[in-house]
Structure 1
Amino acid sequence: MTDVETLLRPHAEQAFAHELAALDAADDRPRPPAWRLSPWAVVTYLLGGTLPDGTVVTPKYVGPRRVVEVAVATLATDRALLLLGVPGTAKTWVSEHLAAAVSGSSTLVVQGTSGTSEDAIRYGWNYARLLAEGPSERALVPSPVMTAMRTASIARIEELTRIPSDVQDALITVLSEKSLPVPELGTEVQAAKGFNVIATANDRDRGVNELSSALRRRFNTVVLPLPATHEEEVAIVTRRVEQLGVALELPPVPAAADEIRRVVTVFRELRSGRTVDGRQALKSPSGTLSTAEAISVVAHGIALAAHFGDGVLRPSDVAAGILGSVVKDPVADTAVWVEYLESVVRERDGWLDFYGACREVTG
């Protein structure tokens, strides 16, 4: 059996197995068919809490409780769940943890791309067996969706809107009839109670394919918002950076709070087009400047500080990462960034070192 501690990125059900087991033991509420936990316990797993035995369940998602409750309630019905939001709003993260808490496994995943074929959603064939034996159950290669239907599990479809529209529509029969015909064998797979689908999508990136009205009706759409407040986003970034540091075995870096707060401030101001005090309008760059990108910038900065610095996270450690996140269009975004540095950063008390580090990497 694989030692979880040796894995670079354990699945949710591996990394938080002790929390799931504690919730299972403490959970005395009704559970839908084939669910590992009750809807109440699933929400507790996502949002965190303390169990009667003293077990602390860490928050996996920081956001409105009602959003999580609606998502979990959807999975308890015959409606599929579509998590919608701009890039970096934890759609994949929430999808994985929901599947882990409901089914005990988050690995039945279809990764949507422009090259995703219908086989990835329905089924394919082992062509060596197909040629030797003809169409048979042994020659059939089930998709994650078909496997989830058979095992009463949650199937996850990441980036649904990146999948070509005609391939997306292969889901319509699955979601409406709860069956998947296999005409080559003259049979079908009928979904067991407990099966459902969680899809994620965003409408901001290039290469997005709109969902047909017929498919969209099969989903209950839940929009995951950006963090509502500065403090909320700082807390999210701090928690995830700490988790990444442990997973990557980075040396501990003290006094990172100031730079985390500064990175979040820069991202929120450029994202919203206004300074935190509301007094100055700003131009926004073309990128999304998501919370996920802020986490990446800080984690990269900690690696620099730990391995090539003095062990303290400083402006010079995060400047290059911020520049890479902000400047996607070398011409337009660079102009926005330089204007922000000169009109906001340079004038802000206590930010002179940060201004100098950013000017140095910007050129």
Structure 2
Amino acid sequence: MTTSAAASGLSTDTASALRPHAEQTYATELEALAGADDRQRPPGWRLSPWAVTQYLLGTTLDDGTEITPKYIGSRRVVEVAVATLATDRALLLIGVPGTAKTWLSEHLAAAVSGDSTLLVQGTAGTSEEAVRYGWNYARLLAEGPSEAALVPSPVMTAMARGSIGRIEELTRMPSDVQDGLITVLSEKALPVAELGVEVQAQRGFNIIATANDRDRGVNDLSSALRRRFNTVVLPVPDSAEDEVRIVTQRVEQLGRSL
């Protein structure tokens, strides 16, 4: 017997959410871009690289639809990030606090795969199950290892769906947990030894990770893992005018939600 989200007290009303996900807040813009986008799209992508770039930097479409800028800064940074994902290379966004690493990560995932929710939050207590898989121990004890007892991580779910998986604060995770990503990124597969099977990544799968420059040395990435990422450094705003634009835009967005 299944229990609905409403019956269990879990809210599914995105309209009343305190902070809707990017793909919900900007659904109209994403739909308009998809309709105007006649360029080639990489396998599994909702938009072409050109449209993803326009979504992030802002533009006005031929039909008059205004696409608001999500990232105020260097166009080159955005183009390198989008090109990295288009070539199936994992992306690592590095910068000091306040350089919009998480913000850019979320909007990239929303534009590329339409889902920014497959997220692992890195902390000193993050376990290997968070990036691989875990078990429903009640079912495991009752039935033994089975697919029904398997609890997939956001990374495994992203692989199965062909979506973008996000990892926040990668360098805060213990080194052995970080290295659990090496097989995922190099082989594009995640073995489940207990079941004798593996989950193969579908087209469109990729990883976007973020790391804080000031946390360097907490848990440095191994050279093997670092080689599997293309690193993009996010700079601080170039000028006071850019800072004013960023603050003004965010205040307007918060004002609309209130």
Question: How does the TM-score come out when normalised to structure 2?
Answer: 0.94
8 Å contact from structure 2 (residues 172, 215) kept in 1: no
* Separation (CA, whole Å) in 1 of partners of 2:144 and 2:28: 46
Partner of 1:137: 147
**Aligned partner of residue 236 in structure 2, secondary structure:** coil
- Select the residue among 93, 103, 114 that pairs with 2:103: 93
Alignment of 1:53-68 (within 5 A): 53-68=63-78
Counterpart residue identity of residue 155, structure 1: G
Q: Secondary structure at the match of 2:194?
A: helix
Give distance in 1, aligned partners of 2:15 and 2:198: 41
C-alpha distance in 1 between matches for 2:234 and 2:220: 18
| Partner residue, 1:44 | 54
User: 2:6 — aligned with what?
Assistant: none
Amino acid at match of 2:75: R
Structure 1 residue matching 2:69: 3-state secondary structure: coil
Cα distance in 2, alignment partners of residues 241 and 4 from structure 1 = 21
**Does 2:247 correspond to 1:237?**
yes
Summarize the Cα distance change of 1:3–1:138 in structure 2 as closer, same or farther, 3 Å threshold: closer
Q: C-alpha distance in 2, partners of 1:167/1:82?
A: 16
Distance, in Å, in 1 between the alignment partners of 2:215 and 2:230 is 22
Unaligned runs of 5+ in 2: 1-10
Q: Which residue of 1 aligns with 2:198?
A: 188
Q: CA deviation at 1:3?
A: 4.5
CA contact (8 A) 2:42 2:48 kept: yes
Q: 1:224 aligns with which of 234, 251, 254?
A: 234
Which whole-Å deviations, capped at 9, do the CAs of 1:248-272 have from their partners, x for residues lacking one? x2xxxxxxxxxxxxxxxxxxxxxxx
Tell me which residue corresponds to 1:108: 118
- Asked if structure 2 preserves the Cα contact closer than 8 Å seen for 1:4 and 1:15, the reply is no
TM-score by length of 1: 0.67
Offset, 1:191: 0.6
| Alignment deviations for residues 113-156 of structure 1 (CA, whole Å, 9 cap, x no partner) | 00000000000000011001100111000000000100000000
In structure 2, what is the equivalent of residue 213 of structure 1? Answer: 223
Which residue, 96, 100, 117 being the options, matches 2:127? 117
1:205, 1:212 → 2: CA distance?
15
The 1-side partners of 2:15 and 2:158 are apart by 28
Question: Which of 211, 214, 227 is 1:204 aligned to?
Answer: 214
What is the Cα deviation at residue 220 of structure 1? 0.1
Give CA deviations for 1:143-179 in whole Å, capped at 9, x if unaligned. 0000010000000000001000111000000000101
Task: Work out whether residues 162 and 207 of structure 1, in 8 Å CA contact, stay in contact via their aligned partners in 2.
Answer: no
Which consecutive unaligned segments of at least 5 residues does structure 1 have? 250-363
Moved over 6 A (4+): none
> Relative contact order, CA 8 A, sep 6+: which one is greater?
2
Change (3 A) 1:207 1:5: farther
Residues of 2 paired with 1:165 and 1:11: CA distance?
A: 30
- Matched to 1:110, the amino acid is V
Preserved contact between residue 50 and residue 56 of structure 1 (Cα < 8 Å) = yes
Counterpart-to-counterpart distance in 1, 2:131 and 2:92: 16
Question: Residue 93 of structure 2 is aligned with which of 74, 79, 83?
Answer: 83
CA distance in 1, matches of 2:161, 2:48: 18
Q: Distance in 2 between matches of 1:177 and 1:82?
A: 18
Spell out the pairing of 1:1-363 with structure 2 (5 A cutoff).
2-205=12-215, 208-247=218-257, 249=258
Which whole-Å CA distance do the structure 2 matches of 1:164 and 1:2 have between them? 34
Higher strand share: 2
